[in-house]
């Protein structure tokens, strides 16, 4: 009845949308608003995003009206409220709204149209829906109006109105998280430094939600840059840890706690910060407080805490400490408690028992809780197999194994497709945990004692008998997510059976019987063609054990793999032939499923080809192949009716194609503008790609060198361990040297001041030296002139000596000619003696004059005085010589003597 009511509401809604689109009157708007309110009262959120024709048309029409600027604002707000309910429902609804209906781009365009009036209620509504829609979802940068949305968010982060600031920060935190394109775009902005300063100022905000948003954006943008190195430095990272743990334990709301957990998970991806957390002194207390949150009954809080604990297990040191805290030896207390309370009703505040309680939730419970709990158990027991002795976890394992085996039991009632998918996902996590337990010998024995072969066979039979595993060749299972998950569970069950086949009764027989089942070709072919390395390796290990078996359907497996490959090739060709500009809404109309006649024709051709190969492959029984093909033909016949229904739905969709084509023509201009923009971005991306390829080649060479360096670093690490001990002893000497360094730095400053003053004195002395050089040059010129004068005096003295010699000769001649005048001669001799004395005195004066000339620079004034005295003496001597000449002129004969100077 509820489904009928929902269908009736959807039909009425579609009619109201069509009427309002044709005539945008107030009456039609009111009628459409009433239909939306009625639909909000009917819980049909999953039906709206189921992908069926009628709900898809309704949602497409609503999203189109939201993006139309001519729509009534009140009606736009009502539609956005309905879309907000869908976005908050679950992850699948958010993914459908984003990818199938492009709600993110539509809301961004609404914000862009109302960017001039940011205080309008529709803007706040769009931001709130975007915050829900973009959480934990990677939004591509090519989404319409993405650049404008980022500019709007950054501009209004500094708005004084906190009603718009907080959702702007929330949306920006979602967009920047794990999105390299958005991070690069924000970093390339010219005012990014001012934006960083604004975010850093938000760290002192009174609202913890604003603080967490700002920290999340800073971590996404600056964690590996200089700003992040300063912000998340070892000196203040402990305060960040304390803030995050306080918010998680004593947070003021689930939203704030959720973003705090996401922030810590992102920070743990940085090895340096993860190492800081291992050395955080209060981590044990914080871990105990976080584990205490598992005692509550709130599934959202529990899922948040479990996600954080799984992230902590990515750090080896933290996983070891978490393992010791959760799986510590409980002894008889756990066993007595289990007997007293029973499974699923524990009251003891123990983290291990709380985890066990969340892992044992029913299938219709919160999926994130029991899946995260099982993943956490797998991480913890993997740590047990590596470092912690397995004996400390055996007491807890006695409680865990019955819960795990109980989760593998299929329900008695038939499951829907959604329930079966949930069961497969949970069974895959359980099998992962059992495979981890079976890797340790002691725990492997415990598992083998409680696990039965019948349980494994029932699990495999449940999945093999499902219609999603019976696909055949014409409609491969690659198109179904459920078939992929089911194949994964089957292979993991077989891997566990292979490990325990020697320890569990009838396990080996059941294992080989399942391997020879023809239905195993579907999961094996899916795993061998999978993109996951682990699935391929698991399938190959199972195939190695199954290949020697006599009844293993190897040929059918090859046919199935070939069919899957052909199907993928055909899908690729169809995708290449489809029009490139066709929107998402037209995509379902272009891919038609193959008709039953074509599939049967293909089967007949394959059968004929297999008959032709019968002579070559003689060990293949054609009757078995014929049975397989008969089963496939029957399955195709049953699917023909479903294909007819699908064709009718397609006919209804074709009737609406005209309207979609009209919408396409209206949006073509916008698409062409975006295409031009994308073309420019593509050119830039290609250029960047070429640069990155060059960088990649260099980095690959550096990576090879790094491998060699790692070996050297390992050897160097041992030396560093010894040097670390010396480091402790050097700390004291370092402090002393630091004190001496400070003293030396103070003395250096003093010497620098003295050096500056000495430089000034040097400049003054240089100037004085230059003036002295000029004065010295003048003195040297004067000295040269005086030396020339002395040389002239020397030449005059030589002439006088020559004259004296002449006088002496003349006297001798006079002595020979006038011996008579003895008395006069004696007088003359006396006179000559006096002249000789005078000559000796003159020579001594000459020597003194030469000595004084050598020291002329210091005794210039004395030399001038002595020269004057010598001139006077010379004048006296001249007078005396003249007197002698006058005395001897009358007595000599006609001989004359020239004694004038």
pLDDT at 830: 81
pLDDT at 737: 85
pLDDT at 373: 92
Residue 307 Cα distances to 34, 279, 360, 742, angstroms: 41, 22, 17, 51
pLDDT at 677 over 80: no
pLDDT at 438 over 80: yes
Give the mean pLDDT of the chain. Answer: 78
Of the spans 43-52, 224-233, 844-853, which averages the highest pLDDT?
224-233
Distance of CA 64 to the CA centre of its chain: 37
**Are 386 and 440 spatial neighbours (Cβ–Cβ below 8 Å)?**
no
Residue 883 or 616, more confident: 883
Axis-axis angle for helices 417-437, 394-408 (nearest 10): 150
The span from the CA of 804 to the CA of 836, in Å, is: 9
pLDDT at 144: 75
pLDDT at 624: 59
Residue 346 or 217, more confident: 217
Confidence of residue 643 (pLDDT cuts 50, 70, 90): low
Question: What element of type H or E holds 56?
Answer: helix 53-67
Confidence of residue 479 (pLDDT cuts 50, 70, 90): very low
Q: Average of pLDDT values for 683-687?
A: 82
Calculated CA dihedral for residues 547, 549, 551, 557, nearest 10 degrees = -10
pLDDT at 437 over 60: yes
Residue 582 or 882, more confident: 882
Instruction: Identify the weakest region by mean pLDDT among 253-267, 561-575, 770-784.
Output: 561-575
Q: Average of pLDDT values for 257-269?
A: 91
Distance of CA 40 to the CA centre of its chain: 42
DSSP 472: T
The span from the CA of 280 to the CA of 240, in Å, is: 11
Instruction: Identify the weakest region by mean pLDDT among 119-133, 288-302, 707-721.
Output: 707-721
pLDDT at 3: 43
Q: Which of 492, 494, 490 is nearest to 508 (CA)?
A: 494
Q: What is the pLDDT of residues 74-113, one digit of tens each?
A: 888 888 888 888 887 777 788 888 888 888 888 988 898 8
Axis-axis angle for helices 507-515, 533-546 (nearest 10): 100
> Would you tell me how many other CB atoms lie within 10 Å of the CB of residue 45?
18
Residue 580 or 217, more confident: 217
pLDDT at 69 over 50: yes
Residue 399 or 886, more confident: 399
CA distance between the termini of the chain: 160
Confidence of residue 795 (pLDDT cuts 50, 70, 90): confident
Q: Sort 868 into a burial class: Cβ within 10 Å, 0-12 / 13-18 / 19+.
A: exposed
> Would you tell me how many other CB atoms lie within 10 Å of the CB of residue 514?
21
pLDDT at 214: 92
Q: What is the pLDDT of residues 5-47, one digit of tens each?
A: 677 888 888 888 888 888 888 888 888 888 888 887 766 666 6
pLDDT at 173 over 90: yes
pLDDT at 604 over 70: no
Q: Which residues contact 177 (CB under 8 A, 6 or more apart)?
A: 136, 216, 220, 262, 266
Q: Which residues contact 584 (CB under 8 A, 6 or more apart)?
A: 99, 100, 101, 102
Q: Sort 415 into a burial class: Cβ within 10 Å, 0-12 / 13-18 / 19+.
A: middle
> Would you tell me how many other CB atoms lie within 10 Å of the CB of residue 53?
14
pLDDT at 686 over 90: no
pLDDT at 626: 66
Confidence of residue 170 (pLDDT cuts 50, 70, 90): very high
Confidence of residue 578 (pLDDT cuts 50, 70, 90): very low
pLDDT at 585 over 80: no
The string of DSSP letters for 7-38 reads HHHHHHHHHHHHHHHH---HHHHHHHHHHHHH
The span from the CA of 111 to the CA of 167, in Å, is: 13
Q: What is the pLDDT of residues 487-541, one digit of tens each?
A: 899 999 999 999 998 999 999 999 999 988 888 888 888 888 888 888 889 889 9
pLDDT at 706: 79
pLDDT at 324 over 80: yes
Q: What percent of the chain has pLDDT over 70?
A: 78
pLDDT at 841 over 70: yes
pLDDT at 901: 33
> Would you tell me how many other CB atoms lie within 10 Å of the CB of residue 445?
13
Confidence of residue 663 (pLDDT cuts 50, 70, 90): low
Distance of CA 160 to the CA centre of its chain: 32
pLDDT at 391: 63
Q: Is 137 helix (H, G, I), strand (E, B) or coil?
A: coil
Axis-axis angle for helices 367-386, 316-326 (nearest 10): 100
pLDDT at 627 over 90: no
pLDDT at 849: 67
pLDDT at 616: 43
The span from the CA of 53 to the CA of 656, in Å, is: 11
Q: Sort 820 into a burial class: Cβ within 10 Å, 0-12 / 13-18 / 19+.
A: exposed
Q: Sort 272 into a burial class: Cβ within 10 Å, 0-12 / 13-18 / 19+.
A: middle
pLDDT at 220 over 80: yes
Instruction: Identify the weakest region by mean pLDDT among 102-106, 790-794, 819-823.
Output: 819-823
pLDDT at 392: 64
Q: What percent of the chain has pLDDT over 90?
A: 12
The three-point CA angle 756-759-764 to 5° equals: 135
Torsion region of 51: left, alpha or beta (phi above 0 gives left; psi -120 to 50 gives alpha): left
DSSP 517: -
Confidence of residue 620 (pLDDT cuts 50, 70, 90): very low
pLDDT at 333 over 80: no
pLDDT at 470 over 90: no
pLDDT at 428: 92
> Nearest 5°: phi and psi at 846?
-65, -45
Q: Which residues contact 9 (CB under 8 A, 6 or more apart)?
A: 35, 38, 39, 42, 44
Length of the chain: 901
Confidence of residue 388 (pLDDT cuts 50, 70, 90): low
pLDDT at 612 over 60: no
Q: Average of pLDDT values for 846-869?
A: 67
pLDDT at 263: 92
Beta strands in 444-496 (DSSP E): none
Instruction: Identify the weakest region by mean pLDDT among 70-79, 349-358, 553-562, 827-836.
Output: 827-836
pLDDT at 755 over 80: yes
pLDDT at 587: 32
Residue 367 Cα distances to 364, 372, 597, angstroms: 8, 8, 42
């Amino acid at each position: 009845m509820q489904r009928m009511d929902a269908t009736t509401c959807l039909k009425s809604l579609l009619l109201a949308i069509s009427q309002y689109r044709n005539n945008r009157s107030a009456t039609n708007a009111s009628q459409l608003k009433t239909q939306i309110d009625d639909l909000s009262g009917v819980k049909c959120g999953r039906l709206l995003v189921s992908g069926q024709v009628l709900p898809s048309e309704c949602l497409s029409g609503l999203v189109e009206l939201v993006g139309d600027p001519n729509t009534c604002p009140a009606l736009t707000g009502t539609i956005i409220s309905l879309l907000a309910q869908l976005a908050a429902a679950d992850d699948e609804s958010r993914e459908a709204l984003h990818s199938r209906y492009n709600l993110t781009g539509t809301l961004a365009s609404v914000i862009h149209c109302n960017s001039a009036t940011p205080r309008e209620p529709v803007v706040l509504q769009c931001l709130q829906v975007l915050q829900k829609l973009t959480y934990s979802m990677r939004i591509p940068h090519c989404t319409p109006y993405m650049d404008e949305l980022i500019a709007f968010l950054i501009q209004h982060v500094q708005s004084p109105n906190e009603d718009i600031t907080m959702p702007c920060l929330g949306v920006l935190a979602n967009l920047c998280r794990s999105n390299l394109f958005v991070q690069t775009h924000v970093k390339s902005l010219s005012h990014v430094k001012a934006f960083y300063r604004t975010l850093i100022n938000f760290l002192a905000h009174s609202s913890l939600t604003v603080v967490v948003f700002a920290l999340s954006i800073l971590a996404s943008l600056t964690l590996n840059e200089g700003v992040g190195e300063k912000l998340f430095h070892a000196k203040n990272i402990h305060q960040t840890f304390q803030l995050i743990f306080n918010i998680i334990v004593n947070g003021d709301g689930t939203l704030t706690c959720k973003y705090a957990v996401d922030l810590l998970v992102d920070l743990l991806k940085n090895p340096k910060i993860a190492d800081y957390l291992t050395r955080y002194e209060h981590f044990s207390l914080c871990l105990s407080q976080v584990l205490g949150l598992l005692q509550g009954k709130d599934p959202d809080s529990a899922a948040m805490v479990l996600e954080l604990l799984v992230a902590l297990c990515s750090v080896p040191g933290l996983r070891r400490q978490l393992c010791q805290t959760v799986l510590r030896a409980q002894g008889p207390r756990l066993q007595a408690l289990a007997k007293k309370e029973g499974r699923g009703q524990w009251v003891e505040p123990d983290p291990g028992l709380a985890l066990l309680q969340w892992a044992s939730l029913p299938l219709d419970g919160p999926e994130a809780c029991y899946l995260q709990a099982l993943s956490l158990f797998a991480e913890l027991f993997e740590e047990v197999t590596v470092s912690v002795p397995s004996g400390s976890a055996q007491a807890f394992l006695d409680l865990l194994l019955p819960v795990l085996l109980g989760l593998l039991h299929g329900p008695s009632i038939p499951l829907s497709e959604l329930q079966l998918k949930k069961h497969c996902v949970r069974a895959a996590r359980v099998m992962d945990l059992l495979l981890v337990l079976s890797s340790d010998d002691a725990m492997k024995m415990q598992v083998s004692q409680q696990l039965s072969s019948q349980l494994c066979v029932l699990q495999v039979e449940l999945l093999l008998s499902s219609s999603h595993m019976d696909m055949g060749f014409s409609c491969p299972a690659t198109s179904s997510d459920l078939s992929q998950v089911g194949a994964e569970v089957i292979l993991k069950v077989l891997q566990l059976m292979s490990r325990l086949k020697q320890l569990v009764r009838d396990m080996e027989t059941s294992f080989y019987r399942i391997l020879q089942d023809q239905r195993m070709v579907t999961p094996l072919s899916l795993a061998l063609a999978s993109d996951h390395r682990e699935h391929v390796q698991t399938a190959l290990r199972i195939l190695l054990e199954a290949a020697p078996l006599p009844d293993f359907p190897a040929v059918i497996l090859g046919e199935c793999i070939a069919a899957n490959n052909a199907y993928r090739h055909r899908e690729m060709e169809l995708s290449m032939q489809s029009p490139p500009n066709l929107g998402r809404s037209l995509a379902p109309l272009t891919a038609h499923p193959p008709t039953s006649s074509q599939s049967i024709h293909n089967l007949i051709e394959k059968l004929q080809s297999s008959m032709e190969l019968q002579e070559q492959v003689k060990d293949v029984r054609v009757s078995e192949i014929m049975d397989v093909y008969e089963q496939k033909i029957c399955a195709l016949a049953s699917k023909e009716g479903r294909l007819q229904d699908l064709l009718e739905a397609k006919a209804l969709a074709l009737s609406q194609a005209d309207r979609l084509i009209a919408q396409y023509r209206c949006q073509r201009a916008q698409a062409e503008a975006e295409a031009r923009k994308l073309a420019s971005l593509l050119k830039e991306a290609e250029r960047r790609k070429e640069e990155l390829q060059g960088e990649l080649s260099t980095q690959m060479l550096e990576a090879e060198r790094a491998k060699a360096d790692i070996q050297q670093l390992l050897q160097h690490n041992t030396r560093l361990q010894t040097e670390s001990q010396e480091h402790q002893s050097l700390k004291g000497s370092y402090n002393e040297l630091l004190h001496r360094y400070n003293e030396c730095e103070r003395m250096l400053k003093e010497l620098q001041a003295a050096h500056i003053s000495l430089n000034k004195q040097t400049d003054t002395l240089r100037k004085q030296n230059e003036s002295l050089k000029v004065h010295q040059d003048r003195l040297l010129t004067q000295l040269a002139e005086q030396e020339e004068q002395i040389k002239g005096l020397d030449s005059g003295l030589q002439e006088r000596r020559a004259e004296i010699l002449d006088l002496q000769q003349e006297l001798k001649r006079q002595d020979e000619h006038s011996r008579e005048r003895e008395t006069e001669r004696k007088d003359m001799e006396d006179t000559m003696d006096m002249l000789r004395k005078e000559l000796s005195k003159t020579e001594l004066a000459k020597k003194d004059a030469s000595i004084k000339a050598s020291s002329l620079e210091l005794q210039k004034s004395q030399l001038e005085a002595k020269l004057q005295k010598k001139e006077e003496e010379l004048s006296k001597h001249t007078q005396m010589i003249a007197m002698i000449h006058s005395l001897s002129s009358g007595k000599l004969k006609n001989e004359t003597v020239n004694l004038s100077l």
